[in-house]
Amino acid sequence: MTHPSGAPACRLEPEAAFCFSRWRKPIVQEAFMAKMAIFLFGFLALTIAIGLLATISPV
């Protein structure tokens, strides 16, 4: 995003809320939420796999 003057916002106001670099460091909450999302997706995949395996006839 650019500043109204046309210059990049990060150079003029580095602490600005709309100043994002291409790879900004995630805050602690975002890192925790990402780990939780990966864990929940894995748990969902495991649950579906167990459900599919349970439908196989033993004979």
User: Domain segments of the chain: what residues?
Assistant: 25-59
pLDDT (tens digit per residue) in 15-46: 555 555 677 777 888 889 999 999 999 999 99
Model pLDDT, residue 5 = 60
Contacts of 5 (CB under 8 A, 6+ apart): 12
DSSP H or E stretch at residue 50: helix 28-54
By three-state DSSP, how is residue 2 classified?
strand
Torsion (CA) 48, 49, 50, 54 in degrees, nearest 10? 100
Residue predicted with more confidence, 37 or 13: 37
